[in-house]
Structure 1
């Protein structure tokens, strides 16, 4: 994001080449010049910053011990660093006077993914700039003046009534707890505690530990199943002091078992399944000459953007459910049958690097019509899982845990499934299978060069390439981060790009590895590069590198699904989309304004 100097907490003194010599300047917005002498930590600068933090603290609720950001709060760190004492009185920012500005609500919990608490806001405006500059969505701005200033959605609407895509960029940017992901920790803890029914369960000295555990599992009211996304095994390491780019798959599985989950499965399995379905869908479109381009559908924030902002693109979206939702659907059908349970007795929890996955799990289209249960019951972000693990210290000391394997049959995966964690990964995984399917001779042993599609790798915002599928040119594109997505869509809509067949869209920078549900504390400037490198290392370490070569995928088609794009596959693994008109969109149409123009007219940024 571009520096704004709003919070004035990075004050420095420039002794030379400063036209305002003697006045502190904000370092973030002051351009460095040859010959500058910059004093960063003088008593005078510390006094200025101390006063600024004191004034901010006086307008901030004194709720640190029960705050969602406690221990991970930048404002809390500043209070400690500058030894800012508790003020004698506080002057809460959100007042009744804001009612005249249309901001009568202090909190907004209307979104299925994101909670707003305006009383916590420190007016750094990071969320505003993240939403506008990085994501191109223009949802948030500033209303009122002086002590009444507050960040609010456009037209002072509830978040659910805006074009918000639940990407969580505002959550990731917020230094305090003014904007947070919707908390599912207590719900999941309650699920784990309440799923046990001890009635009729007797301890028998003649039973082996294995028999006792099996009896205990059968006595449960619910069977708790948890799935972990590809990126989580990399990013959760940072929550427990391990360097960025560490892979902690075994410790992650062990920690989840110790928390009390009955089965721990890998979302990579259904990432492989997604590739089989999506690659076949792409080949079918090629045979039928469109509609093109086909867009990936595994990023729920992108799907929200299509439904709310670009409904004309709905026919171009892949009908495949995301790997998260495919897993939930199979857990409550295929897996439930295997363990002799009804779908209503299976509770599925997801651990995701993504805030929008909470939104996705609540979609009415993703409810099993037979059992009338949601595919996925609860979604935890990586940060939320880390919080749960820390609640169980010293019993669970993550970095020192023994490694444990994922359970079967939904735990085996290929390296291609792991690639879903990085931008370009879904594209590369699909290309591996598409290349193999169109060539009977293709395999990981005979054609090793086609395991790497360098042309779709990289952290650039938009990337285009042409891939040769045995004489058939396939034009592809990849975009990551909301503003880049909107730029690419506009280029397609305006006819500047008209030859694309397949497009991958990810709303977060770097893809899921940069998702808004990941740890926020790391300060490594090469953080994303190290995370992405870990994804590729994990892929290369796999014996199986192509989704269609996963033996458990082959088995589930043989035993249960039938064939890709078949009747049962379509019922369980595919979904539909609908245009979603919002109050914000209606207001903008009435004023004949774009979201950026409406934001500029009604709010300050």
Structure 2
């Protein structure tokens, strides 16, 4: 069924549940051979037993000893990406197919193999996940108030590293900040290429180079591919840090370990469920070695749950956790990038323009609607605007950006209140200053507030419990908490920058394939009709 087109979803975030269109037909592989139907023969019917299994049984008075058990319908991650029935993460699908249980199953089976067949298990952790765990430890649920113990992401990384190596059996433990360093350099390079190409074309109809829109958020990419394909030419082709890390581990590091990509099992810990979708894209599958850049993605909450199940006390210090930067022999760790806790994509471009300018440029930041929608402008002393960009987080703000870009480039993207708001930013007497770059993230508050982060600890779980059933998800053992708690997001943000230091970074001889492609996804089914 379809609802009225006048219905508008509110409180949008990356927890939009699967649409009614998310149905994959069952392919019955154990079907009995067809037989001629005799006159008066019994028909069949489907019964479901107490375990939820499906059986095809004969109806009427016919004997039922030959009941045929049917396969249940399943939806893979690729199936989820193949339709446009939903906008972002299908939680019940993702949690089932990519979870900490899958990681444990692999590690157990891998440990039983001989040395020649055994894969090298590697785990890479996002800095936002480390910040979430640090904030969780700095919060005392047993006290009458909160207390900050100055637990740093570096301390968390050391404790998680010991757990992953000694308890789980991972060979290598990394964070993903060096991959982000590489991604930011490529991001700036791509922006300069687009800026140059845009200047040559000028205000022509086929100028689809600027504004450049960030590509690191898979929720935004999924939304654009399924709902706003007209935005795809503007989206950066640079891979996200997760996928850059995948290439780095499986190819660059693999060569130095004497391993081919299929001889490495790579797990990432991410603050967002949509990263599971991103890792499953066909673009990130190596056809030669039949392996993915990232084999499995687990969220911060799933890692925390895994540590609890294994009896690991993350509050207990480990030897050397207060030491400075430590190298695995290949890459630096915990690199800081000033700007935003979502990756500093906009700031990296602002810094480059300021650093390469022959004259002093003044940066001004203006809040447009809220802290999740800010405008950045670089001007010369004369007042001439040299660069204008924006930081846009959350679907509510994101829709305005989509319509603003569409209006500037003559692309039809929709109408309504959001469309009217999108074009209201003007400079001078009616002259509009166009954006050249937008840092886009689907989650309000950015990546530190991702749906996969550890929820705020509470003495009363009901105060922060999310209604998973209402969201269409049934998961046992998930940590309680409230998603979207602004106060808690602020604490995670503070933890992210705790102990932050920025030094010179040498990328050495690292050469990787850093770019990808996006494509529109068309739906041939009718699901929920939603007005954006």
TM > 0.5? yes
Which residue is 2:163 aligned to? 255
Q: How far apart in 2 are the matches of 1:139 and 1:464?
A: 28
Q: Residues 311-344 of structure 1, C-alpha deviation per residue, up to 9 Å, x if partnerless?
A: 1111111101110001101211110000111111
Q: How many residue pairs align between the two structures?
A: 396
* Structure 2 counterpart SS, 1:319: coil
Decide whether the 8 Å contact of 2:215 with 2:240 is kept in 1: yes
Q: How far apart in 1 are the matches of 2:253 and 2:350?
A: 29
Decide whether the 8 Å contact of 1:163 with 1:309 is kept in 2: no
* Structure 2 counterpart SS, 1:573: coil
| Equivalent residue for 1:412, pick from 312, 326, 333 | 333
* Structure 2 counterpart SS, 1:380: strand
| Equivalent residue for 2:350, pick from 401, 425, 431 | 431
* Structure 2 counterpart SS, 1:550: coil
Which residue is 1:595 aligned to? 530
Structure ranking higher in helix proportion: 1
Which residue is 1:514 aligned to? 449
Please show how residues 66-465 of structure 1 align to structure 2 within 5 Å.
Answer: 132-135=9-12, 153-154=19-20, 160=80, 161-167=83-89, 182-197=97-112, 199=114, 221-238=118-135, 242=139, 246-247=151-152, 248-258=156-166, 259-289=168-198, 291-393=209-311, 396-402=312-318, 403-404=320-321, 405=326, 407-416=328-337, 421-422=341-342, 425-436=344-355, 438-439=356-357, 460-465=371-376
Q: Which region of structure 1 is more displaced relative to structure 2, 365-374 or 330-339? A: 365-374
- Deviation of residue 372 (structure 1)? 2.9
Residues 1:476 and 2:389 aligned together: yes
Decide whether the 8 Å contact of 1:455 with 1:465 is kept in 2: yes
Which residue is 1:530 aligned to? 491
| Distance verdict in 2 for CA 1:459–1:228, change over 3 Å | farther
- Deviation of residue 156 (structure 1)? 7.7
* Structure 2 counterpart SS, 1:528: helix
| Distance verdict in 2 for CA 1:277–1:317, change over 3 Å | same
* Structure 2 counterpart SS, 1:596: coil
- Deviation of residue 462 (structure 1)? 1.5
Unaligned runs of 5+ in 1: 1-100, 103-128, 141-151, 172-176, 200-217, 442-446, 562-568, 589-593, 598-605
Residues 1:550 and 2:505 aligned together: yes
Q: How far apart in 2 are the matches of 1:362 and 1:389?
A: 25
| Distance verdict in 2 for CA 1:543–1:133, change over 3 Å | same
Decide whether the 8 Å contact of 1:195 with 1:222 is kept in 2: yes
| Distance verdict in 2 for CA 1:192–1:525, change over 3 Å | same
Decide whether the 8 Å contact of 1:255 with 1:401 is kept in 2: no
* Structure 2 counterpart SS, 1:277: helix
Q: How far apart in 1 are the matches of 2:490 and 2:387?
A: 27
| Distance verdict in 2 for CA 1:178–1:157, change over 3 Å | closer
| Distance verdict in 2 for CA 1:183–1:364, change over 3 Å | closer
Q: How far apart in 1 are the matches of 2:16 and 2:113?
A: 49
- Deviation of residue 359 (structure 1)? 0.5
Q: How far apart in 2 are the matches of 1:574 and 1:294?
A: 14
Q: How far apart in 2 are the matches of 1:167 and 1:459?
A: 25
| Distance verdict in 2 for CA 1:156–1:323, change over 3 Å | closer
Q: How far apart in 1 are the matches of 2:117 and 2:15?
A: 47
Q: Which region of structure 1 is more displaced relative to structure 2, 363-372 or 511-520? A: 363-372
* Structure 1 counterpart SS, 2:498: helix
Decide whether the 8 Å contact of 1:265 with 1:408 is kept in 2: no
Decide whether the 8 Å contact of 1:456 with 1:478 is kept in 2: no
| Equivalent residue for 1:575, pick from 513, 516, 527 | 516
| Distance verdict in 2 for CA 1:412–1:587, change over 3 Å | closer
Decide whether the 8 Å contact of 2:373 with 2:397 is kept in 1: yes
| Distance verdict in 2 for CA 1:342–1:560, change over 3 Å | same
Q: Residues 368-397 of structure 1, C-alpha deviation per residue, up to 9 Å, x if partnerless?
A: 24423111000000011111111221xx21
Q: How far apart in 2 are the matches of 1:534 and 1:345?
A: 36
| Distance verdict in 2 for CA 1:178–1:363, change over 3 Å | closer
Tell me the TM-score normalised to structure 2 length: 0.66
Greater relative contact order (CA < 8 Å, ≥ 6 in sequence):
2
Tell me the TM-score normalised to structure 1 length: 0.58
- Deviation of residue 236 (structure 1)? 1.8
RMSD between superposed Cα atoms in Å? 3.6
- Deviation of residue 491 (structure 1)? 2.5
Q: How far apart in 1 are the matches of 2:292 and 2:517?
A: 15
